[in-house]
Amino acid sequence: QVRLVQSGAEVKRPGASVKVSCKTSGYTFTNYGFIWFRQAPGQGLEWLGWISGYSGNTDYTQKLQDRLTVTTDTSTSTGYMELRSLTSDDTAVYYCARMRISNLRVWPFGDYWGQGSLVTVSS
Amino acid sequence: EIVLTQSPGTLSLSPGERATLSCRASQSLSDNYVAWYQQKPGQSPRLLIFGASSRAAGTPHRFSGSGSGPDFSLTISRLEPEDFAVYYCQQYAKSLTFGGGTKVEI
């Protein structure tokens, strides 16, 4: 079955960087992409960015595009999200989700989700 | 940026009742590119509906999505105890944005 397993919780100082991983199984990695979201404590969902597992194309929310990088490692069927120059506003649960690709276009919604990774930014 | 407004913020209903959740976009959404998710406390969101009306794998038939232009809705025909949760709409017609969520409570 389709599974996305994320890395564990992290505590970071302001100004540091965090890299969250998302290891997949149960499907052909290059036929799909990753889409990344976050949810601040008690808040709603926010889209961060996506990457096509087929082409490597990416798209980012304008708000974070200077600090955010999403990548994939096809050899391990794993996706990564790195966020730099962290502030307390980045404290949230970060989610990866599988993103569909069909007819060579991406469909940016998440059909299977990881369990979430809590990132806490605190001095 | 397309803003999605979900209403009501909270819906108080009983098992067996019908729930209708609204999602209004600040502009018309091309090709009905709207998805709906369910999120229970402490859990990851779960995709219910995409393309405004297509059920995702495993979505029970009591869930249905409809709408066009700027107005979309999610209907739960008869609430089951496990349906009490927060529901989010998301548009992917122009970048991606989420609504603020509707909590369905007993």
pLDDT beyond 90 at A102: no
Token pair recorded at residue B36: 């709906």
Can you give the pLDDT of all 106 residues of chain B as single tens digits? 999 999 999 999 999 999 999 999 999 998 889 999 999 999 999 999 999 999 999 999 999 999 999 999 999 999 999 999 999 999 999 999 999 999 999 8
The gap from C-alpha B97 to its chain's centroid, in whole angstroms, comes to: 13
A33 Cβ contact list (under 8 Å, min separation 6): A50, A51, A52, A53, A54, A98, A99, A100, A101, A106
Distance from CA of B100 to the nearest CA of A (A): 6
Cβ separation B88–A61 shorter than 8 A: no
Candidate from B44, B50, B92 with C-beta closest to A114: B44
- Cβ atoms of A116 and A10 within 8 Å: the answer is no
Candidate from B44, B50, B92 with C-beta closest to A95: B44
User: Where do we find the tokens 């989420």?
Assistant: B98
> Which of A95-99, A118-122, B91-95 has the least mean pLDDT?
B91-95
Q: Which DSSP letter does residue A25 get?
A: E
Token pair recorded at residue B57: 């794998």
Provide the b/e sequence for B14-36 (b: ≥16 CB within 10 Å): eeeeebebbbbbeeebeebbbbb
Candidate from B44, B88, B92 with C-beta closest to A116: B44
Return the pLDDT at B106: 85
Cβ separation A47–B57 shorter than 8 A: no
- Cβ atoms of A82 and A75 within 8 Å: the answer is no
Return the pLDDT at B42: 94
What is the residue-wise DSSP string for B45-91? -EEEEETTTEEPTT--TTEEEEEETTEEEEEESS--GGG-SEEEEEE
- Cβ atoms of A26 and A2 within 8 Å: the answer is yes
Average pLDDT over residues A64-92: 96
Which amino acid does the sequence have at B6?
Q
